[in-house]
Structure 1
Amino acid sequence: MDEKAKVALLSIGSNTFLALGKLAAGLYMGSVSVISEAVHSSLDLVAAVIAFFAVKTAAKPADDRHNYGHGKFENLSSIIEAILILVAGAMIINSAIPKLQGGGQIESLGLGAGVMGVSVLVNLLVSRKLLKTARKMESPALAADGWHLMTDVYTSLGVFAGLGAIYLTGLTILDPIIAIAVALMIFKAAFNLIRESVRSILDVNLPKTEENLIKGILQSYAEEYVEFHDLRTRKAGSDRYVDLHLVVPKYQDINAVHNLCDRIEDDLRAQLPGAQILIHTEPCGGHCEEIGSIK
């Protein structure tokens, strides 16, 4: 099992533990804000399972049906996770609104505070591991899962503070108000995830910094070709795709041209590990002595 899959399994285990603990405490206390956190963790558990299968699928090599590999399964996974977060937020608001009128009785505030404290600690540790691995492996599925848990950290802190405020003031109406605030934070995280994942699904080009890096490497070989054009880039999961047209002198030896392309590709992969590069070479139709005139 690769590193991404192992970290995804860690997320599944932590979310199972926290979802069951929060649900038991919330039902015992009669607290909609604690139950809302249980719902949040339950959806995070579903998201963690999806992320696990996404990273396993994305690691498969290209096949007859997926000629460009399976990287976009990770992007699809992060969109599904974001939709699940939106559902969780809607469920929380639906449970909280009726209690805005009556407030209700909340028992065992200390138990709720303890559960929220454990949740903050566990999710902080696991989310940092997820985000670190996501950056290292460039995994959108693990990044989405990590940000889910970071959202859980913030919302758990909010519920923790709210329970403290209820203890000090006796105002149980703070419970549904906090739950709605939790839901709004969840919505924001979901929209951010959807925005980033849709960019990859729609084949948006690589960031300017990476495209400038590619152009810089091409520039370093400018004395060996005439120009390049039609540079196109995109990303699927952690995989990058780069293709371009390279114009060379009309009568240049084909072996020399092939060697040049190999050296350019090696340098690009050294800076962008795992990049899939396609260079289409074409003979110069004009003044081929003007080598190095990049457009």
Structure 2
Amino acid sequence: MTALAQTKTRLGLLSLVVSVALVAIKFYAYHLTRSQVVLTDALESIINIFTSGFALYSLYLAALPKDENHPYGHGKIEYLSVGFEGALIFMAGAYILYSATGSLLHPHAVDRPGWGVALLATTAVANLGLGLYLVRQGKALKSVALAGDGQHLYIDALTSIVSSGALLLVAATGVVRIDGGAALLLGGFILVNGGRMVGRSVAGLMDETDTAVVTEVIAELQAHRRAPWIDVHNLRVQRYGANLHIDCHMQMPYYYSLEHVHTELHDIEELIRAKFAVEVEMFVHADPCTFAACSLCRMADCPVRAHPFERAVVWDLHNAVRNERHRL
């Protein structure tokens, strides 16, 4: 296992251990208070244990090397992890809405709200700190599983803060329906966020274009563009966990030898690999130029030029991804 994979695994294990400890605290807070909003918070948090465990397993699988059955690696499992987490959160939100509706219609007294506030505030601080840390590390390590797990903990901290506020209001006003109303609002919030996580998972599994990464690739090619790189098109980027698979078509002078073309393509691939801190697998398909490309070709000493150079096409997100050669 690489150092990067070990770091991800340690973070995933940390999330799992903290989730178990905080869920125990929240259920103890419910035992003391018998508050619906505290139960809502605890039920949402118990999902953390299952999702953190699955995220840890997905990080282990994502770190496995390529094999005959998985030629692009195992990184896609991280998107499945996010979808699994989102689905569980969505189901928890639906149940919480059902339970909170009953509590709102038939409210009951809240016991020892002070203890509930103290315990939930403790869990909120822990979840907020760890959640923000995991989101930051997930982005730095290009791990959607870690980032998704961190976002869930961050959301869990927000629910604990709202739950604490509801208990304080109940204690201050004596209106017990505030407890059920707050639980109802939290249930809706949890439901929406679970749905969003499922949407991100589906987008990743369906290879939805990562606009930011594609823009970076195009900008790097444009910044280091050489005259023989006449035109680039059909540029695509697929993400497999942290790793990237990039392919494109590059139009080059048709009279170049195979060795010369190979050297140019190798330079392009190395240029892009050096740009990203993750593993990049890049394939460039070479297309021979045609006389129709002369007007946008900057080859100064071209021996077969049929038309004078007019202007170069600036590669950007709108033209480099199209599956067609550029024309003036």
State yes or no: 1:281 paired with 2:286. Answer: yes
Task: Name stretches of at least 5 consecutive residues in structure 1 with no aligned partner.
Answer: none
Q: Partner of 1:221: helix, strand, or coil?
A: coil
State yes or no: 1:153 paired with 2:162. Answer: no
The letter of the residue matching 1:212 is T
The structure 1 segments of at least 4 consecutive aligned residues displaced by more than 3 Å after TM superposition are 285-294
State yes or no: 1:211 paired with 2:214. Answer: yes
State yes or no: 1:237 paired with 2:241. Answer: yes
Q: Partner of 1:242: helix, strand, or coil?
A: strand
State yes or no: 1:51 paired with 2:52. Answer: no
Residue 263 of structure 1 is matched in structure 2 by: 267
- Structure with higher Rg: it is 2
Checking the alignment, whether the CA contact within 8 Å between 2:214 and 2:236 is kept in structure 1 is no
Q: For residues 145 and 134 of structure 1, what CA distance do their matches in structure 2 show? A: 9
- Deviation per CA, 1:168-222: give whole Å up to 9, x if none: 0111111111111111111222122122222111111221x43233223333223
Checking the alignment, whether the CA contact within 8 Å between 1:82 and 1:193 is kept in structure 2 is yes
State yes or no: 1:180 paired with 2:147. Answer: no
The letter of the residue matching 2:213 is E
1:75 CA displacement? 0.4
Q: For residues 7 and 114 of structure 1, what CA distance do their matches in structure 2 show? A: 27
Q: Bigger shift: 60-69 or 251-260? A: 251-260
Q: Partner of 1:70: helix, strand, or coil?
A: coil
Q: For residues 217 and 158 of structure 1, what CA distance do their matches in structure 2 show? A: 45
Q: Bigger shift: 280-289 or 1-10? A: 280-289
Residue 15 of structure 1 is matched in structure 2 by: 19
Q: Partner of 2:221: helix, strand, or coil?
A: helix
The letter of the residue matching 1:211 is V
Q: TM-score, normalised by structure 2?
A: 0.85
Q: For residues 210 and 101 of structure 2, what CA distance do their matches in structure 1 show? A: 43
Q: Partner of 1:100: helix, strand, or coil?
A: helix
Q: How many residues align?
A: 294
1:288 CA displacement? 7.2
Q: For residues 180 and 91 of structure 1, what CA distance do their matches in structure 2 show? A: 10
Q: TM-score, normalised by structure 1?
A: 0.94
RMSD: 1.7
Q: Partner of 1:222: helix, strand, or coil?
A: coil
State yes or no: 1:106 paired with 2:110. Answer: yes
Checking the alignment, whether the CA contact within 8 Å between 2:213 and 2:237 is kept in structure 1 is no
1:31 CA displacement? 1.0
Given candidates 71, 78, 86, the residue that maps to 2:75 is: 71
